[in-house]
A and B are shown apart, each in its own frame.
Chain A
Amino acid sequence: MKSGLRTGLVAAGTVALLLVLNSLFTGSLVSGVAMPPYILQVICLAGINIILAVSLNLINGFTGQFSIGHAGFMAIGAYASAYVTVAWGDRFRGATSFLPEFARDGALLLFSLAVGALLAAIAGFFVGVPSLRLRGDYLAIVTLGFGEIIRVFILNIDAVGGARGYSGIPKLANFFWIYLFAAITVVVVSRTVKSSFGRTLIAIREDEIAAEAMGVDTTRSKVISFVLSSALAGIGGGLFGHYLMYLHTNSFTFIKSIEIIIMIVIGGLGSITGSVLGAMLFIALTEGLREFSQYRMVLFSLLLIIIMIVRPQGILGHLEFRQFFGRRRRLDAPTPPAIT
């Protein structure tokens, strides 16, 4: 009971803190004090990256299944939730007219994200069931293939703009919503990993055959973690669309999936705080190097190679932030992914 109260308090505190920060950043709390919009945009995009990276880490880092199709699920979430607000937004607002303005927007966003997450989860299920029987690189290439197929199909749906891109999406997402969902993603993934179900995932990562021998239904566990990860990616995609107000299928190529993989690998595979750090570092690097205009990506790729050579296990390795610095030794620190 006591711990339930504590959890509630922490949650309420987080929401309140995010609300205060949000109004501080946009300049409505203290007049004259505001975060420059460009910096705020970078921070918000970093938040979306956190959602994507942490959710992918569940598959790639904790379950040990190598997926390069994350952008596809992100695209499904993005397009589905954007379609909900564009096509049904007015009707939804009419039905919820008893609510004040901001609550109506919030409810609409939540509803659209729920639809996006649901569709992404369904897609995750249909992709996961056949492909998770495969291992290693075969799984990687199949998820890559599914990601591209998803993209080609969205490109051919005229209702969401096709080749023109999908414009006219209302800007419902902001700092508050993005970081609220980033926090939720982190909590969901870390709770999952620490649960008994999470142990089975880690067992699969360490040795799939041994796990199977111990009575773990490996396919079922892998599919569940894949579906959960896809749903979270769908939420990330939904926020992406509602923040940038524009979607184009070229944003969801396999390059995007690879960017997310880069984030989790530089942060440290199998470390949630590592993914958070990796996501932030990734965007800080790409934006920070903007100064160098056309040399930017050359420098970025060089840095990436150097990071890999100097610290092959990622910045935090497999450790969480607290373990990396703290003296508190925990017996149950997860071991690094097996080198197979």
Chain B
Amino acid sequence: MTTFLQQLVNGLSLGSIYALIALGYTMVYGVLRLINFAHGDVYMVGAYVGYYLSRKLQGKEPSLPNAILVMMGAMAACAIFGLIIERLAYRPVRKASRLTLLITAIGVSLFIENAAQLVFGADPKFFPSLAPRADFIVAGVRLTSEQITVIAVSFLLMILLRFFIQKTRTGKAMRAVSFNLDAAKLMGISTDRIIATTFAVGSALAAAAGVLIGMQIPKIDPLMGILYGLKAFVAAVLGGIGNVPGAVLGGLLIGTSEVMVVGYLSSTYRDAIAFGILILVLILRPQGILGRVTKEKV
């Protein structure tokens, strides 16, 4: 039983990382109907920015302000990075077919991965510890400070995002754009600006996930975004793509079920089972768990 609870904690902390990345996928999909393949790589860049920032801050003792500084820095850098990608690569092809947009996204992803291998080096890097660590044992289950941080920060960010989307003017505009881009434009919403904001926010969340994973794992490499990106994308689809709470739910589901499969079955089948669950859910509920049914207009 203790083992099971421990696995549950492991699963939740992995799942909240997936959820943070999945949010970016889902937000971009919501406004552009684009599977942003490069999103996993933005997450990788976030981890590297965090790595270099914390190396700069080294020498000082690990402390909470430092950790927050690194996190903020990485998020800001990636928000700008997301804006650049959107402006240079996606905006010129936004009017073309969706497949063209998708291939462009794949091209951007390949570019970031390969450029990162040249810039950062192909070998893995060790992420220095940012905050003082402590372990808590609750009912035989060991909770590390990293796991608690990951879960807490993820949820904090998700709540902030929820507030941003529901309550602020920009958030409302974002929802309008995702509902109907052309109508939103007619209502005087600057869609270009909203789409850019969406990219910035999504990329910042991915950067936060990158720093969090760096604290927890603590190994980063230029290709780390491929697998996490794919899983997070699966999570986003599972929860109902375009749906923010759905992405969180999907992330937690995928994370927990993966950990359980690895713990109680075999890691070989981990990916197969993650996809198996996805296929099953989609066949039974084609719009994802929390997705809205969209009636096609004739």
Q: Contact: B118 with A294, CB < 8 Å? A: yes
- Tell me how far the C-beta of B45 lies from the nearest C-beta in chain A, rounded to whole angstroms: 15
From B108, B113, B279, B296, give the contact of A131 (CB < 8 A): B279
Give the residues in chain A near B233, CB-CB below 8 Å.
141
Which secondary structure dominates chain B's binding surface? helix
Which secondary structure dominates chain A's binding surface? helix
- Tell me how far the C-beta of A163 lies from the nearest C-beta in chain B, rounded to whole angstroms: 10
- Tell me how far the C-beta of A207 lies from the nearest C-beta in chain B, rounded to whole angstroms: 9
Q: How large is the interface on B (under 10, 10 to 19, 20 to 34, 35 or more residues)?
A: 35 or more
From B104, B108, B110, B230, give the contact of A254 (CB < 8 A): B230
- Roughly how many angstroms separate A125 CA and B267 CA in the complex, as a whole number? 28
- Roughly how many angstroms separate A68 CA and B276 CA in the complex, as a whole number? 16
Closest B residue to A302 using CB positions: B111
Give the residues in chain A near B115, CB-CB below 8 Å.
298
- Tell me how far the C-beta of B165 lies from the nearest C-beta in chain A, rounded to whole angstroms: 21
Provide the B94-113 mask, 1 if CB < 8 A to any CB of A, else 0.
Answer: 01111110011011111101
Give the residues in chain A near B118, CB-CB below 8 Å.
294-295, 298
Q: Contact: B234 with A339, CB < 8 Å? A: no
Q: Contact: A130 with B283, CB < 8 Å? A: yes
Those of B175-221 within 8 Å (CB) of chain A: none
Q: Contact: B92 with A309, CB < 8 Å? A: yes
Q: Contact: B99 with A137, CB < 8 Å? A: no
Provide the A290-316 mask, 1 if CB < 8 A to any CB of B, else 0.
Answer: 000011011011101100110011000
Q: Contact: B93 with A308, CB < 8 Å? A: yes
Most chain B CB within 10 A, of A135, A156, A309, A339, is at A309
Provide the B33-49 mask, 1 if CB < 8 A to any CB of A, else 0.
Answer: 10100000000000000
- Roughly how many angstroms separate A304 CA and B298 CA in the complex, as a whole number? 35
Q: Contact: B286 with A133, CB < 8 Å? A: yes
- Tell me how far the C-beta of B268 lies from the nearest C-beta in chain A, rounded to whole angstroms: 6
Most chain A CB within 10 A, of B29, B117, B283, B288, is at B283
- Tell me how far the C-beta of A270 lies from the nearest C-beta in chain B, rounded to whole angstroms: 10
- Tell me how far the C-beta of A66 lies from the nearest C-beta in chain B, rounded to whole angstroms: 7
- Tell me how far the C-beta of A148 lies from the nearest C-beta in chain B, rounded to whole angstroms: 5
Say if the beta carbon of B269 comes within 8 Å of chain A: yes
Q: Contact: B275 with A146, CB < 8 Å? A: yes
Contacts A304-B103, A308-B104; A145 near B283 (Cβ below 8 A): no
Those of A39-82 within 8 Å (CB) of chain B: 60, 66
Give the residues in chain B near A144, CB-CB below 8 Å.
275
Say if the beta carbon of A134 comes within 8 Å of chain B: yes
Q: Contact: A313 with B100, CB < 8 Å? A: yes
Give the residues in chain B near A301, CB-CB below 8 Å.
107-111, 114
Say if the beta carbon of B237 comes within 8 Å of chain A: yes
- Roughly how many angstroms separate A152 CA and B95 CA in the complex, as a whole number? 38
Give the residues in chain B near A300, CB-CB below 8 Å.
110
Contacts A148-B271, A294-B117; A142 near B279 (Cβ below 8 A): yes
- Roughly how many angstroms separate A149 CA and B237 CA in the complex, as a whole number? 17
- Tell me how far the C-beta of A46 lies from the nearest C-beta in chain B, rounded to whole angstroms: 20
Give the residues in chain B near A339, CB-CB below 8 Å.
97-98
From B95, B110, B114, B278, give the contact of A141 (CB < 8 A): B278
Stretch at the interface among A99-107, A235-243, A261-269, A327-335: A261-269
Provide the B256-298 mask, 1 if CB < 8 A to any CB of A, else 0.
Answer: 0000000000001101100110110011001110000000101
Q: Contact: A155 with B268, CB < 8 Å? A: yes
Contacts A134-B282, A137-B35, A148-B272; A297 near B93 (Cβ below 8 A): no
From B92, B103, B286, give the contact of A134 (CB < 8 A): B286
Give the residues in chain A near B286, CB-CB below 8 Å.
133-135, 138
Contacts A137-B35, A137-B237; A149 near B100 (Cβ below 8 A): no
Query: What are some 29 contacts across the A-B interface (CB < 8 A)?
Result: A131-B282, A133-B283, A134-B286, A138-B282, A141-B234, A149-B272, A152-B269, A152-B271, A155-B268, A156-B268, A209-B296, A261-B103, A262-B106, A266-B103, A294-B118, A297-B113, A298-B114, A298-B118, A304-B103, A304-B104, A304-B107, A305-B104, A305-B108, A308-B103, A308-B107, A309-B93, A312-B95, A313-B97, A336-B97
List the 5 closest pairs (A to B, CB-CB), nearest first: A312-B96, A145-B275, A301-B110, A301-B111, A304-B107
- Using a CB–CB cutoff of 8 Å, the interface residues on chain A facing chain B are 60, 66, 130-131, 133-135, 137-138, 140-142, 144-146, 148-149, 152-153, 155-156, 209-210, 213, 254, 258, 261-262, 265-266, 269, 294-295, 297-298, 300-302, 304-305, 308-309, 312-313, 336-337, 339-340
- Using a CB–CB cutoff of 8 Å, the interface residues on chain B facing chain A are 29, 33, 35, 89, 92-93, 95-100, 103-104, 106-111, 113-115, 117-118, 230, 233-234, 237, 241, 268-269, 271-272, 275-276, 278-279, 282-283, 286-288, 296, 298
